[in-house]
Structure 1
Amino acid sequence: MKRHALFRIALLINLLNATAAFASVPRLINYQGVLTDAVGVVLEGAHDLAFSIYEDSTATTAAWTEVHSAVPLSKGVFSVILGGLTPITDEVFAGSSRWLGIGVDSSQETAPRMRLTSVPWAIRSAVADSARVAASGGGGESLWESDGQNVYRSLGRIGLGTANPVSSLHISNSNPDVTLDMTSASTDLGPEIVLSRGGLTQARVYWARTDSAVHITNPIRDGIIIKGNRLGINVSKPRAVLHLRDATSTAWLGDPTGLLVRPYRLSGRYDQYIPFGSYSVLDVSDSSSVAQRAIMGTSLKGTGGYFSGSQGVRAGGSDYGVYASSYKLNGSSNNPIGVYANVGAEPSVTSGSKYGLRGYVSGGASTNYAVYGYATGATTNYAGYFSGNVRVTGTLTKGAGAFEIDHPLDPANMYLRHSFVESPEMLNVYSGTCVLDANGKAVVELPKYFEALNRSYRYQLTCVGSYAPVFIAQEISGNTFTIAGGIIGTTVCWQVTGVRKDAYAQAHPIIVEENKSNDQVHKYLHPQLYNKSAENGVDSNDDN
């Protein structure tokens, strides 16, 4: 390996304190040296030089590195500016000593490393770490002192915008006449901030020794008080986490457990209210068994609570994510709605899906309900009502089923209903008619998917107009079957049923008979049909 010797003949460091008061100091180092080979012969030409700064003379990890390519040498002399390619940050010179190492043409660094030292007058800059600042006049008497971390003064007052400060900190703006004072005028008060205008106090912020609370007041009302974890507005002693009082009334609207603000009553009438009603905030640390509501909205004519945003309401809880109730007042024509969702889109939005209500449940519960409906007590009860198409991708379990349409013979006045056909098996039914040919036969073609979907085929044949001993001459194969045994021109009605064998049917077969779970024993889907009370219903354990 070719070895080089480096004689460092000059080092000018312009990297000074970056936080100088009046100028931005360049973070650059002017470095010059002479490069020779191992026997002292100076080098010529261009060479790659790598400069690194270390915390000590033997450190293996550099705090900073910069490579200068093809540096020209004249009689071995070179000159470079360090920091122009890789910035030299404050952290590079954060320690008490630093060492410079130099590598030539990707070879090992020259030895030994050189310790970097201060430019003589830069030594004075070290005083800045513990300097006394803001000397006054030419005498140099200190107004401010510093201990290296804090800047402070022990005596006197500070005035901004005024030559006659009246408190520890006095800020004044003569146009308009607004002042801010920081003082401790009373023995009962701690630090105090006073906001004034036109010589009159407009607001005060202070800490009172008498109640160990922070007060924000104005000359008219008690204002805001913060005591421990309680916040009071227009009260002198908050009795809840949040305690409010009507600014125009002397009545207390809170109670020991929380806050209740009723809607304003207009003109002395109980039927006139501001559209946005009331809310209640309870102390969440209250361990009483009384039902608590962190936020409760009430409005007899209007909106109890209004939320707007990309997620209008986002709720979560150990029992209820969203709990909504509604009731109908006497004489009201409105239909109460517990939860009402209305989803729209701008006219330019023509793609994607919208959901008025979307339910999703996951986890390890014994039974999950993405949407659960329960209705009782009325003449007609609908746990769910859908006006439009309903798509179910899973298994639909029901007590009974029917279609309902406007009656074809009297659509204006009557409905027509037909019941579903039920079976303990997952059956598909196919039917049709055919006419027998000259050989008394007919070949019936079924859908192409028939055999892929069905198994366990069953047949029924009925002749129309005359009797014939028709039979299935060839069972279903290739999605066709053959009828024979009749005479030419005979019409035959046929019906074929098959049991589903598709992947879903095999994974989710109908369990015809099943024992009730322990929590449903002696419970009924329809207890009233067995002369049982509603408490004997399978839904009686659910909160409704």
Structure 2
Amino acid sequence: MALIALCGAVSAPAAAQVSVGTGFSYQGFLRLEGDLVNGATDLRFRLFDSDVGGSQVSASVDIHDHPVANGVFTAYLDFGASPWNGHARWLDIQVRPGDAVGAYHQLTPRQLITAAPLALYALNAASLWEQVGSGIANANNGFVGINRSNPIDATEYFGVQIPATGSNFGGMYVRATSSDARPYYGYSTNTRTALTYLNGANGDWRVRVGTSDRLTISDAGNVGIGTTNPQSILHVQGNGGALGLWGSGAAPGVVPMLHFRNGLTFNDWVLRHEESSFHIATETSGNEKLTITDFGRVGIGTNAPNAKLHVINATAETVIHAATTGLGPAGVFNIASTSNANAALSATTIGPGPAIIGDTGADGSNDYIPGVAGITTGNNGIGVFGYTTGVGGAAVGVLGRTDGQGWAGFFEGNVGVAGTMAANTKQFVIDHPAKPAEAYLVHGCVESDDYRNLYDGVVTLDGEGRAVVDLPPWFEVLNADFRYQLTAVGAAMPGLHVANEIKQARFTIAGGAPGARVSWQVTGRRIDPAATAARFDVVRPKTPAERGRYLNPELYDRPESERLLRSGPPRREPTAGR
């Protein structure tokens, strides 16, 4: 028996929606000693990895009593998937008569299995697909597409195009057969892994980085970042030193914000970060309630704080209320740098209420219980600083007031005033020199309708009854419009007079008794720049806002509501022991 002719192996045609499988059809032509073979014939097919010798790569396929007509036979062969790994294969054929039970007759040569058209579609000449265990792998370094052949860009290696139209869905599912399974789609580099998966047990969708779940969307719609059990629509939980929430604008000028809405009629709340400041507001723009700048300044009621804490109040409410039930201070504002000239606390109000209230609210035997204390340790520091830009009579930088016998303001030490000091009355009060432990000595001040300086002294007349009185060299720079008074000491001197008025800081007395003593007094009106710049009208009309109000309404039997300086802390009603 001799094998005369062979047709190429061809994969079996696939029916619509049916898997192709691993079998294929093989057709051959047999002659026996020149005659065509007819009748039943036993066929044995084997696969080898070489045309001569080599190794058999699969189990044999034996077909018994296979019909052969006029030398032609067609056999369906299925060696399974394992032999087809992209390497060349040769078909070895043995035959014997169908009614024989002896050995098979070996046909030569072995036939090279060539790729059929369907096989070329699945496994091309470049051997891009190969079997690895029970799976297949693609060694292609380029793009792999399903229903399309071109990548969207050079970075795409796998793509799917769906034939969906309109707004219809289309895509891909990773499906598990168990209801509690966790199907996932993963990502991996040489050192890191990440994946997204569905927790079939509870319906959560999660993002896992490495071995930790970082993002969770629950079956109820809650989103958890840093937690796998979100308790609200957005639940952010920082881990260790990690930030809880981070917002960033997509481009320069884009303001990142976090918007809160309660679903009722109340104002929305917005957290907003601009170029150099962070804001908490009740609307998307404006109406800031709290501002923190990149310089660490905090503004309440202002979006441009110019101090570490800058509070502005436009209502009658108290700006700052600090209270403590313990033994420590309710608040401490301290400047520790000797070169820092800024205020440690700045409080401003444009309403009728006070910016700061200092009130101890306590009685006792302590010498001092300050409501507000300003302390500085710097050589040029300022413990308390008051400042006003107002021009009205009620504009006050610092206001002190008392309801009783206490002091509205009390200074221990030197006091300097660079400007005009106005008062109803002026006194000096000292411990009485004769009985300092029992009484004070009180004197009033001499008043005038202008700024005046008074100088006096006692001079002894010469043998001609004359004397020259020398004054300081700056006397005429400081004073003008001089007034003189001479008083004879010991006896009357009817001719006593000023012979020469002040010139070059001296004047001359004459007409007295030789060797007698004279008491003199000179008064001058100040003409220095400070006094000239602060000239005043002796009678000054009250402004329209001041009319009907009084510095001391109680002296004119007027109510307290007509007091001129009404700003500052509200008056306290007298209580027992105060």
Normalization by structure 2: what TM-score?
Answer: 0.48
In 1, Cα distance between the equivalents of 2:549 and 2:471?
A: 46
What's the % identity of the aligned pairs? 29
2:419 partner amino acid: G
Over 3 Å counting, the alpha-carbon distance change for 1:391 and 1:471 in structure 2 is same
Within the candidate set 313, 320, 328, 2:345 is matched to 313
Residue 138 (1) aligns with residue 139 (2): yes
Tell me which residue corresponds to 2:445.
Answer: 420
State the Cα distance separating 1:354 from its structure 2 match. 0.9
Name the larger-Rg structure.
Answer: 2
In 1, Cα distance between the equivalents of 2:353 and 2:318?
A: 13
Tell me which residue corresponds to 2:236.
Answer: 216
Within the candidate set 150, 157, 162, 2:185 is matched to 157
Tell me which residue corresponds to 1:356.
Answer: 383
Map 1:423-442; keep pairs closer than 5 Å. Answer: 423-442=448-467
| Aligned residues: CA RMSD | 4.7
Within the candidate set 502, 510, 533, 1:476 is matched to 502
Listed one character per residue, the Cα deviations across residues 229-282 of structure 1 (whole Å, up to 9, x for unaligned) are 5599xxx99x9989xxxxxxxxxxxxxxxx9xxxxxxxxxxxxxxxxxxxxx99
Asked if structure 2 preserves the Cα contact closer than 8 Å seen for 1:324 and 1:338, the reply is no
For residue 443 of structure 1, give the secondary structure of its aligned residue in structure 2.
strand
Within the candidate set 193, 199, 210, 1:172 is matched to 210
Residue 343 (1) aligns with residue 376 (2): yes
In 1, Cα distance between the equivalents of 2:458 and 2:353?
A: 56
Asked if structure 2 preserves the Cα contact closer than 8 Å seen for 1:158 and 1:170, the reply is no
Tell me which residue corresponds to 2:221.
Answer: 188
1:157 partner amino acid: Y
1:169 partner amino acid: V
Asked if structure 2 preserves the Cα contact closer than 8 Å seen for 1:159 and 1:169, the reply is no
Gap regions ≥5 residues in structure 2 = 1-136, 146-150, 161-171, 173-183, 198-204, 239-243, 248-256, 270-288, 290-299, 304-313, 571-578
For residue 476 of structure 1, give the secondary structure of its aligned residue in structure 2.
coil
In 1, Cα distance between the equivalents of 2:563 and 2:142?
A: 91
Listed one character per residue, the Cα deviations across residues 57-78 of structure 1 (whole Å, up to 9, x for unaligned) are xxxxxxxxxxxxxxxxxxxxxx
Residue 489 (1) aligns with residue 527 (2): no
Tell me which residue corresponds to 2:89.
Answer: none
In 2, Cα distance between the equivalents of 1:446 and 1:541?
A: 47
In 2, Cα distance between the equivalents of 1:537 and 1:414?
A: 33
In 1, Cα distance between the equivalents of 2:477 and 2:358?
A: 51
Gap regions ≥5 residues in structure 1 = 1-135, 174-178, 196-200, 209-213, 243-258, 260-280, 346-351
Residue 390 (1) aligns with residue 391 (2): no
In 1, Cα distance between the equivalents of 2:461 and 2:556?
A: 54
Tell me which residue corresponds to 2:14.
Answer: none
Map 1:218-367; keep pairs closer than 5 Å. Answer: 229-230=259-260, 292=317, 296-301=321-326, 302-305=328-331, 312-319=344-351, 323-329=355-361, 337-345=370-378, 353-362=380-389, 365-366=391-392
Listed one character per residue, the Cα deviations across residues 305-355 of structure 1 (whole Å, up to 9, x for unaligned) are 56678864344454499822244456766765443222225xxxxxx5111
In 2, Cα distance between the equivalents of 1:448 and 1:476?
A: 11
State the Cα distance separating 1:437 from its structure 2 match. 0.9
In 2, Cα distance between the equivalents of 1:501 and 1:341?
A: 37
Over 3 Å counting, the alpha-carbon distance change for 1:183 and 1:300 in structure 2 is closer
Tell me which residue corresponds to 2:473.
Answer: 448
Over 3 Å counting, the alpha-carbon distance change for 1:314 and 1:528 in structure 2 is closer
For residue 169 of structure 1, give the secondary structure of its aligned residue in structure 2.
strand
Tell me which residue corresponds to 1:399.
Answer: 424
State the Cα distance separating 1:187 from its structure 2 match. 4.4
In 2, Cα distance between the equivalents of 1:149 and 1:293?
A: 63
Asked if structure 2 preserves the Cα contact closer than 8 Å seen for 1:425 and 1:499, the reply is yes
Tell me which residue corresponds to 2:397.
Answer: 371
In 2, Cα distance between the equivalents of 1:329 and 1:542?
A: 16
Tell me which residue corresponds to 1:409.
Answer: 434
State the Cα distance separating 1:463 from its structure 2 match. 1.0
State the Cα distance separating 1:137 from its structure 2 match. 7.2
**Larger RCO: Structure 1 or Structure 2 (Cα < 8 Å, ≥ 6 residues apart)?**
2
For residue 208 of structure 2, give the secondary structure of its aligned residue in structure 1.
strand
State the Cα distance separating 1:453 from its structure 2 match. 1.7
In 2, Cα distance between the equivalents of 1:185 and 1:472?
A: 108
For residue 545 of structure 2, give the secondary structure of its aligned residue in structure 1.
helix
1:380 partner amino acid: G
In 1, Cα distance between the equivalents of 2:347 and 2:490?
A: 69
Normalization by structure 1: what TM-score?
Answer: 0.51
In 1, Cα distance between the equivalents of 2:356 and 2:156?
A: 56
State the Cα distance separating 1:392 from its structure 2 match. 1.3
In 1, Cα distance between the equivalents of 2:531 and 2:393?
A: 21
State the Cα distance separating 1:504 from its structure 2 match. 2.4
In 2, Cα distance between the equivalents of 1:497 and 1:407?
A: 29
Instruction: Report how many aligned residue pairs link the two structures.
Output: 335
For residue 374 of structure 2, give the secondary structure of its aligned residue in structure 1.
coil
Tell me which residue corresponds to 2:241.
Answer: none
In 1, Cα distance between the equivalents of 2:159 and 2:411?
A: 76
State the Cα distance separating 1:537 from its structure 2 match. 1.6
State the Cα distance separating 1:539 from its structure 2 match. 1.8
